[in-house]
A = this chain, B = another copy of it.
Amino acid sequence: MTDFKEKFDSYRVAFENALDEYLASVSLKPQILDESFRYSLKLGGKRVRPVLMFACAQMFGGKISDVASLAVALEMIHTYSLIHDDLPAMDNDDFRRGQPSSHKKFGEGQAILAGDALLNQAFSVCVEECKKGRTYVNAAALIAKNAGACGMIAGQAADLYFQGRDDASEADYEFIVRNKTSKMFMSAVAVPAYVYDADENIAALMLEFGKNLGYLFQITDDMLDVSGDFEKLGKTVGKDAEEDKLSAVRVYGLEECSQKADRLCELCLKLLSQLPYECGFLEEFTRYVRGREQ
């Protein structure tokens, strides 16, 4: 477990370095855009998606630097989604990771634009990576598809639709999580498979692993929300909107959530066991996600 934490931290440091390198290469005007752009990217967080991408790149025998720009792009997409999610018209969160959310710090209009800028720069970075050849085009296409209107945004739109309603079915909740959370995890773990041109069945295994790991992540996130262990979530106490939100606990109850999480954890480990690679870190990662609320 100490090994796991050290490895996790080393990936995280590698990502912060890649991000800082990217940020050093951009200088935005007006100043408020430059500030809002950097602010949310440097608010921290566990960098779960980049860490997964780096670990998978190494698992395929590749280098972190091969996917560093795509990891920055993926994290920019994740960050824009949080900024827009926090807006009064969405989740109405005044805090993010213990700091004022973007719209509290820069105003709503500038927060909307900061989010737009992050998504657009992710787009730019991905297209630049396409210059490296066909396998990078495939990887960029995966990121775009999973972040888009048939991916993360579909999940967010459904999530928003059910806010304050009580007629969401289990299928509705599944749709939300499969899109809002899982799709970004799928990109994180499958991008290296695409970049290194892995066999189709290997890529399919990675996508399936990401799908279920994302689901597991969302369920334990929802359970942590209920247990109120905000510190682990990096959230600030007092989220008024939380009560209106659809969650695994609301749909399944705490007991069934726990069983579901166990099953998803098993499934992820089983998928990993089918890979012809050394994937100890991904196994530990899966157990770490499962264990967050225990």
Contact A124 B145 (CB under 8 A): yes
**Please, which residues of chain B bring their CB within 8 A of the CB of A52?**
none
Contact A112 B89 (CB under 8 A): yes
Q: A109-B89, A127-B130, A130-B130 are in contact. Are A33 and B116 (CB under 8 A)?
A: no
Contact with B along A243-280 (1 / 0, CB 8 A): 00000000000000000000000000000000000000
Task: Give the nearest-CB partner of A77 in chain B.
Answer: B120
Residue of A115, A150, A157, A160 contacting most chain B CB atoms (<10 Å) = A157
A residues with CB within 8 A of B: 26, 28-30, 32-33, 37, 80, 84, 87-90, 103, 107-113, 115-117, 119-124, 126-128, 130-131, 134, 137, 140-141, 144-145, 147-150, 153-154, 156-158, 160-161, 175
Other than A89-B107, A128-B141, give 15 A-B pairs with Cβ distance below 8 A.
Answer: A28-B154, A30-B154, A33-B154, A87-B109, A109-B160, A110-B160, A112-B112, A119-B123, A120-B153, A123-B123, A124-B144, A127-B141, A130-B130, A130-B137, A130-B140
